[in-house]
Chain A
Amino acid sequence: MSIADVVIAGGYTVGDVLLAGAAGFVVLALGMLYRAVVGPTMQDRVLAVNVLGTNTVVILALLGAALDEPTFLDIAIVYALLNFLMAIAVSKFTVERGGVL
């Protein structure tokens, strides 16, 4: 028996709480999407999308723990890697003569 099946109160298990946490993260991600849409400069948008990507990684990990599907963690690792690569690449190529690194 996994710890995600432990009932806390009122019939809700730890897995249910983790799912609710993932839903909360989705709501917070929607808030950050505001900056990605409005953000006056290119760098604002890159930063907002980077934070959104970090949120997505946490959401994937929480879903993997709640639904007892450890495969989701592999997807989360690949997503974190691509997220970092995106931030570095876009901030490199938005500067004249390719700066940053």
Chain B
Amino acid sequence: MALDALDPVTAARVGLILVLLAGALFFTFVSMTGVIRLPDVYARAHTASQADTLGAGFGLAAVALTLGWQGASVKTAILLFFIFVTNPTAAHAVARAAFEDGNVPWTEGDERR
């Protein structure tokens, strides 16, 4: 079944799936660049909690849209909610552990760590 032979609703759904998937890959790429390139743990915790949560959210939204109305997409919604709650919490705990471990935050002019 080709795309131009579809009814407009399904065609829009396919387009939205592709856009969401592209957004997921883009924001995860931003997160990867930050995790590799930023100078210290605190900056990396920032990009890991924000860009990566958004990327995972877009990816799981694409999955939910592909599955459509069935029991499995409820699981996708639960997964989405769980990641939105736990990912920033984990990043906060890691950053706080770094601070209590005596890790001094990076300031301008310091060497990269």
A contacts, CB < 8 Å to B: 1-9, 14, 17-18, 21, 24-25, 28, 31-32, 34-35, 40-44, 46-48, 50-51, 54-55, 57-58, 61-62, 64-66, 70, 73-74, 76-77, 80-81, 83-84, 87-88, 91-92, 94-96, 99-101
Number of residues from B at the complex interface, CB < 8 A = 57
7 A/B residue pairs, CB under 8 Å, sorted by A: A31-B36, A35-B36, A41-B103, A47-B48, A58-B59, A61-B63, A96-B101
Cα A32 to Cα B35 with chains together (Å): 7
In the complex, per-residue mask of B44-55: 1 if CB is within 8 Å of any chain A CB, else 0: 110010001101
Q: Which residue of A lies closest to B57 (CB)?
A: A58
Q: Are the CB atoms of B36 and A50 closer together than 8 Å?
A: no
Interface string of B9-44 (1 = CB under 8 A from A): 010011001100100110011011001100001001
Residues in B neighbouring A70, C-beta threshold 8 A: 67, 70-72, 75
